[in-house]
Amino acid sequence: MNDASGLVAQLTEVALAILLAPLLSGWVSQCRAWLQNRSGPGLLQPYRVLAKLFEKEVVLAHNASSLFRSSPYLIFGCLVLAAAIVPTLGTDLPLNPAADAIALVGLLALARFFIALAGMDVGTAFGSLGARREMMVGFLAEPALLMVLFTASLISHSTSLSTIVATLAHREFVIYPSMAFAGVAFTMVSLAENARIPVDNPATHLELTMIHEAMVLEYSGRHLAMIEWAASLKLFVYSCIGLALFFPFGVAQGGDWLGLVLALPAFAAKLAVGGAALAAIEMVNAKMRIFRAPEFLGTAFMLAVLALLVHVLLER
């Protein structure tokens, strides 16, 4: 029975990730619209955008290579896999022993590697500018994310994501100071990695300030649809990591069918609150200059290292 419920949880997670990721993006922009006293485009707007893009033909630059054409699929695949290995519904996922927290960071890095290369492929000024900036954000955000995950790993004596979630969900309710530091660091990293204010603005196409959008300027049609979908997936994956590390309540243990059924609404509620919180953070911040971003991320990295040290010093 264990295996069956794990498999169901695994497949549900993959399906949810693929289908609901655009909804999460839609929810965040809807919340932003409400906070700005606008009526907003509606929750389903990202799906309409995807449908429109899938209708359109692909306009490919003359010198686009096959790397450019295959990258959207690779990135999409990496992010779906990343979403699949984070335990959000149940902890006994069949993929769990194949990939741990470090592999999760590796998968996200792989997606970043390919999107940056795809940005450089056509050889436009904006493409390489975006790739350079994305990698700049990446080289500070990636170790910070790793340190956040390591703090949780040290608490649970494991890098396996399932064990981490199971341990964190079933401890007595104490607030670890290390996890508080890690939580702040993780929030900062997620904002930067998902091209959110204050590091990047998802709603802008102002060339001089953009990061993510600059890289994908040359994409169109189905390729752009895959890239946009992957961007929603990335936000979804980061939300899942955040929920798994800091709010792991309601995740089903192995073989618990009822728990699995209950995990679904709990997960949806947590995502909705998380999305609203993200919109609120974006509302009260202003976008910073691009060269303030390293300071912002450096702070996140320092906080994450501090979280590790606090754990080593105070919590053993």
Partner 1 sequence: MGFPLGLPSGVDAVLAAACAWIALGAAGMAAPGNLRLSARVLYPAGALVGIALAAAALASVGNAESTRVLPLGLPGLPFHARLDALSAFFLLLLAAVAAGVSVYTAGYVRHGPGAAPGVQCLCHHVFLASMALVLVADDAYFFMVAWETMALSSFFLVTSDHRHAEIRRAGYLYLLIAHLGAISILLCFGALQAGTGDYSFDAMRALQQPAGWGSVAFALALAGFGAKAGIVPLHVWLPEAHPAAPSPVSALMSAVMLKTAVYGLMRVTLDLIGFPLWWWGLVALAVGLASALFGVIFAATQSDMKRLLAYSSIENIGLIVAGFGLALLFRGFGMGSLAALALTAALYHCLNHAFFKGLLFLATGSVLHATGERSLGRLGGLIHRMPWVAWCALVGSAAIAGLPPLNGFVSEWLLLQAFLFTPELPQGYVNMLVPVAGAAVALAAALSGYVMVKFFGVVFLGQPREARAAEARDAGPWERSALVWLAGGCVVLGLAPTLVLALLEPVTQRFTGYSLAGLGGGWLFLAPIDAERASYSPLLLFAVAALLVAATWLAVRAFYHGRVRRAPPWDCGFPWLSARMQDTAEGFGQPVQVVFRPVFRIEGEAPSPGDPRPRYRETVEDPLWYWLYLPVAAQSSGPPPW
Enumerate residues 122-161 that contact partner 1 by CB under 8 A: 122-129, 131-133, 135-136, 138-140, 142-143, 146-147, 150, 153-154, 157-160
Q: Tell whether omega for the bond before 294 is within 30 degrees of 0, i.e. cis.
A: no
Assess 99 for contact with partner 1 (CB under 8 A): yes
User: Among the candidate windows 32-40, 65-73, 238-246, 258-266, which touches partner 1 by CB under 8 A?
Assistant: 65-73
Give the whole-angstrom CA distance, residue 17 versus residue 86.
11
Interaction of residue 296 with partner 1, rule CB under 8 A: no
Instruction: Please tell me the count of residues contacting partner 1 according to CB under 8 A.
Output: 80
Q: Tell me which residues in 177-196 interact with partner 1 (CB under 8 A).
A: none
Query: Is the CB of residue 178 less than 8 Å from the CB of residue 156?
Result: no
Q: Which residue in the block uniquely carries the two structure tokens 């795809």?
A: 118
Q: Binding partner 1 by CB under 8 A: which of 31, 89, 112, 190?
A: 112
Q: How far is the CB of 88 from partner 1 (least distance, A)?
A: 17
Structure tokens at 137: 């954000």
128 or 209: whose CB is closer to partner 1?
128
Is 290 in a helix, a strand, or coil? helix
Q: Which of 24, 84, 224, 235 binds partner 1 (CB under 8 A)?
A: 84
Nearer to partner 1, 30 or 96 (CB): 96
The answer to whether 313 contacts partner 1 (rule: CB under 8 A) is: yes
Continuous segment of H or E residues that includes residue 193: helix 177-193
